[in-house]
Amino acid sequence: MTGLDGRVRIPLGGLPLPLLDEDYLALAGERPSYDAVGRGIYHALRANPDCANRERYAVILRDGYPHFLAEMASHIVMLDKKDVDIAYLDRKINYLKVFALIEPDNCRFPLEIGMTYLDKGLRLAALHQVTRSFYRAEEFFRKAHSLSPADVTVRHQLGEVCYLLGKYDDTLSCWRGILSQLAGEEADQMERRLARIEEGVFPRVPAVDYLEAVGAAFALHQQGECEEAAAILLDVLDDTAFREEFPLPEISYILGLCCANLGMPRHAEDYFRAALQANPAYAEAQTALAELSG
């Protein structure tokens, strides 16, 4: 197939072509047009960049349809500039995977995919997927590390997700040697964590397990199972190392709601105040405390 006034030649022999429904219905026994092939491949990769024939589709998109890549790149830039919800993070991951297919030796793309999975895993709305998200992040960080083992950002991010997964030896391996290349709060946090790991001071179970438990407790609270939700959250807060490392005001807030529903207003007040101490701008906790006092 040729396109762009004959400047592009696309070999299609033996390759199944994804088409949009309207383009397929318009075939009428004819071969699909150049534009129809581009639209089909573009939408197939956007929907599932792990699909069969993905490498060949990506090459066709690169060589024959650069305007689609430009559109995808503009979407990534737009998503980077906004505080988006989980569905948009999934979309960003798919777009980045397409570019990773086109430039398989570029560590930037697996790095950004890993960072997006890490971001997704840390979102309270997606804690039910936290384990999967962190392991996917690790997978892509390791791929980036294999492509650029000396890259400071890659080693920093790989060490971060290993820390969250409880792989502390891997964290030490990643972070030793790059501390001097960091500055500010980033360097301070890494130094504190390195010291704690070397002293054997870290959560009783990997942070990912606690985060998954918090997600389960939040779901139980939404279902009205306040007693069970509170028991899980109290168990999480009982681990001082985790509580200090991850001071999540949402845990205290949900605990306060549970206590209020269980007829324990004094305990509820204490937890609402703890949430506000961690985040003085926590509007929901402010409202809950005011309603409890009123």
Please give the average pLDDT of every successive group of 10 residues along the chain, which has 294 residues.
Answer: 79 88 88 91 96 94 92 87 81 96 97 97 92 98 97 96 96 92 88 90 93 96 96 95 91 96 94 94 94 80
- As a whole number of angstroms, the distance between CA 167 and CA 206 comes to 8
Q: What is the pLDDT of residue 8?
A: 81
Query: How much is the pTM?
Result: 0.90
Q: What is the pLDDT of residue 294?
A: 66
Domains and CATH numbers, the chain: 2-68 (no CATH), 105-199 (1.25.40.10), 207-293 (1.25.40.10)
Q: What is the pLDDT of residue 9?
A: 83
Q: How many CB atoms lie within 10 A of CB 8?
A: 15
- As a whole number of angstroms, the distance between CA 7 and CA 2 comes to 7
Closest CA to 49 of 59, 38, 39, 57: 57
**DSSP assignment of 172-214, as one string?**
HHHHTTTGGG--HHHHHHHHHHHHHHHHT-S-SS-HHHHHHHH
Q: What is the pLDDT of residue 169?
A: 95
- For the chain, where are the alpha helices, taking DSSP H only? 21-25, 34-47, 54-64, 66-80, 86-102, 108-122, 130-147, 152-164, 168-175, 184-199, 207-222, 226-237, 240-245, 249-261, 265-278, 283-293
Those residues whose C-beta lies under 8 Å from the C-beta of residue 124, and which sit 6 or more positions away, are 215, 218, 250
